[in-house]
Amino acid sequence: MEKPRLIFDAHLDISMNAMEFNRDQRWTLEDIRRSELNTTDGQPHRGRNTVCFPELRNGRIGIIVATQIARYSPKFHNLPGWRSPEQAWAQTQGQLAYYRTMEDLGEMKQLRTRAELASHAALWREADEAQASQLPIGYLLSLEGADSILSWKHLEKSRSDGLIALGPVHYGPGIYGHGTDDTGPLTARGHELLKEMERLGIILDATHLCDESFADALARFHGPVWASHHNCRSLANWNRQLADAQIRQLIERGAVIGMAFDAIMMVHGWHHRASQPADFGLRIEKICEHIDHICQIAGNALHVGIGTDLDGGFGTEQTPMDLNSIADLTSLQGLLLQRGYTAEDVEGILSGNFLNFLQKNLP
């Protein structure tokens, strides 16, 4: 079967991997893995990465949402992060500088407008394999967790730099609200953040909002909403995933939900740093169950896409057994067709649904 012409991935921590894990994303997968054989930082994902520019091109993942991420962790905080919001801001600016450098080299191309997005999508769809191996990866800029936003002038600067989406929180408590494994509504500062995002035309990323902050955000924010990397709680029982009622709310708002390929988000009962994919017989096809679940709730296939989160602090020790590289996403095409999805449905899930969402919501 011919590969999909284009896959859209709504969540990749490209610059975090480059700047914090010292991975040159231009290298081959094998070269990055070999370079980490003797790494001693205790991270289990070392030597097990799945993402690099050659593999993105090999899988025709030609457009991505590329993140900036830097959380604030004050004194005695039990989650990793920067000791001041100012350090977090500086870190996100270093990540932005990485993307700019990759643009200068022709490896990446930032997409800010509907016209730029449509043009780049057409470029990938029309390219043969040889041409695709040389094309830049189109990227849209997002911010995962807003702790680094020091003031509304900093948010305005980020918007002028091309920021199109923002998730107010990450794990635990943050300046603007409460995230995964925490409880509570958005803070007063978080309410102001939503107003400023709406004024500037920034998409709200509902990913990582705890249940109370999720409800608070959707009640107060009237702009476009998506969930860039979020699976179904009914199939992976953890507050990090979306409950059915939340899925319905997102569908009512016209959102698209990106499917994540972290094993802990795919199955019930995963124990971090203890479970193995083989314990669950976990394969890529499991994500089709999450896709099915959302489609059954929606009554169509228009509200689900791909947001892998691959190399988001984990590697093949925590991915399906048949996912060695992000290029293995191409197998989804056949898996979905076998389950009775139409070719149009599959094209929408792999790229079209997020692209159509952005055509409605970009400048």
Question: Residue 177: pLDDT above 90?
Answer: yes
pLDDT at 1 over 80: no
What single string gives the DSSP state of each residue in 342-361?
Answer: -HHHHHIIIIIHHHHHHHHH
Q: Are 137 and 53 in contact (CB under 8 A)?
A: yes
Nearest CA-CA partner of 351 in 363, 338, 336, 286: 336
Q: Which domains are seen in the chain, by residue range?
A: 8-361 (3.20.20.140)
- Model confidence at 76, pLDDT cuts 50, 70, 90, reads confident
Residue 2's pLDDT band (boundaries 50, 70, 90)?
confident
Residue 78, pLDDT score: 84
At 266, list the tokens.
């795919």
pLDDT at 87: 97
Residue 250, helix vs strand vs coil: helix
pLDDT tens column, 116-148: 999 999 999 999 999 999 999 999 999 999 999
The mean pLDDT of 61-72, rounded to a whole number, is 98
What would the DSSP string read from start to end of 302-331? Answer: SSEEE---TTSS--GGGS-TT-SSGGGGGH
Phi–psi pair at 111, nearest 5 degrees: -115, 120
pLDDT single digits (tens) 292-330: 999 999 999 999 999 999 999 999 999 999 999 999 999
pLDDT of residue 3: 87
The runs of H, that is alpha helices, within 201-242 are: 211-220
**Amino acid in position 153:** K
Calculate the average pLDDT of the chain: 97
Give the C-alpha separation, 335 to 289, whole Å: 11
What is the token pair recorded at 253? 């708002």
* CA-derived radius of gyration, the chain: 19
